[in-house]
A = this chain, B = another copy of it.
Amino acid sequence: MDIAAYMEQLGRNAREASAKVAASSTATRNAALLAARDALDGARAALAEANARDMARGRENNLDAPLLDRLELTPARIDTMLEGLGQVAALPDPVGSITDLNTRPSGIQVGKMRVPLGVIGIIYESRPNVTVEAASLCLKSGNATILRGGSEALASNTAIAACLAEGLASAGLPTTAVQVLETPDRAAVGHLIGMPDYVDVIVPRGGKGLIERISRDARVPVIKHLDGICHVYIDEGADLDMAFNIAVNAKTHRYGTCNTMETLLVADAEAAAILPRLALAYADKGVELRGCERTRGVLTDIRAAAESDWSEEYLAPVLAIKVVDGLDEAIVHINRYSSQHTDSIVTRDHGRAMRFLREVDSSSVMINASTRFADGFEYGLGAEIGISTDKLHARGPVGLEGLTSQKYVVFGEGQIRS
């Protein structure tokens, strides 16, 4: 197989299909999503069989247990995929809205129309349900997609792709609007991220290593986050019950998510009152604490935090704690060490709350709420394709709108420039 020629053909197909998807009606795209749902529902046996082959090969290749778990397509997971397709079909269509229409002194009316980006490349690992999630969000927002899943999920993804194609065809859309790479060749990724003529944006989903490699080598814009090093700052005079609840929830609700708190900052004035109480709760949950010198003045038996702790995403029951003089030091610490994902202040002081909101340079900044809320569903986007810590285009949880762009539209009656 000539991988370069194969990828070029996929790119051409996608670009051609993208014009047709962009010009299609909301009803047509919804019909394709619902037909794909029905096709998947009718193909449960084929999906199970394909997935069993992936699982068997995975076991042969000694994939570790968490990877095998993510790879498995249980009946319940298939149900969730079907529900997801119905939910995406029910979301409002962002495409086509014209906003900010103003009449200019020349007489022309100028506005902005929301339009699809074109072709979106998705690169992800193991979980085959991402194939359905990502394809459905891209299709709903009027885009064509090229999906590259993990090679360990190839049979499952190919079976899913056949159902998506059935849905597209039954709605009269080109089946090339959603293309799943049918090769395990790793060189395919290099081609996918290096075809700016055919691909408008890449959304990588997976481990930090994958995303770093893609960001470094891509010649196409990438929507991504690398790390979730999130902070909670407990301000002087904060409601300590509220601070306790938020600090416990932000750390212990789930350990492996990118919006989990990894460093807790505490104003010096509150350290003696709140830290021992928190330490008990964390001990109860088995969370290991690593503290700065002042923290260890209060919690004498915890391990000293190293400089590297302030920039580590543990994704585990470990928490770094630093006592700071107050808001200024907290903001400086966050803007230096945060991954610009999500940071929260617990405070009663309006002025300091608003300064934190303005001055912390992260994709989500919160007052008196758990960082765990940074999520497309919790924010009301309906669904999310990922979270972006980039500053340009889409920042924070990325829903359908992040998969679109706005172009200027001008309505004239024959105006010429004088």
Q: Residue A408 contacts which of B19, B361, B393, B396 (CB distance < 8 angstroms)?
A: B396
Q: Which A101-143 residues sit within 8 Å CB-CB of chain B?
A: 102, 104, 106, 108, 110, 113, 115, 117-118
A407 to B393, CA, bound (A): 11
Q: Nearest CB to that of A335 among chain B residues?
A: B19
Measured CB to CB, the closest approach of chain B to A48, in angstroms, equals 33
Interface extent on A, as a size class? 35 or more
A283 proximal to B (CB < 8 A): no
Q: Complex: how many Å from CA A374 to CA B104?
A: 12
**One of A178-186, A241-249, A298-306 contacting the partner:** A241-249
Whether A397 contacts B408 by the Cβ 8 Å rule is yes
Contact between B365 and A416, CB atoms less than 8 A apart: no
A187 within 8 A of B: no
Binary contact readout A283-319 vs B (1 if CB under 8 angstroms, 0 otherwise): 0000000000000000000000000000000000000
List A residues at the B interface (Cβ < 8 Å): 19, 22-23, 96, 102, 104, 106, 108, 110, 113, 115, 117-118, 200-201, 221, 239, 241-242, 245-246, 248-250, 253, 335, 344, 346, 355, 357-359, 361-370, 372-374, 378-380, 390-393, 395-397, 405-417
Report, nearest first, the 7 A-B pairs whose CB atoms are least far apart.
Answer: A369-B412, A249-B416, A372-B417, A242-B414, A366-B410, A392-B393, A396-B408
A–B Cβ pairs within 8 angstroms, 16 of them: A22-B361, A23-B355, A23-B359, A104-B380, A115-B361, A201-B392, A245-B416, A248-B416, A249-B417, A363-B407, A366-B412, A368-B415, A369-B412, A369-B415, A370-B412, A397-B408
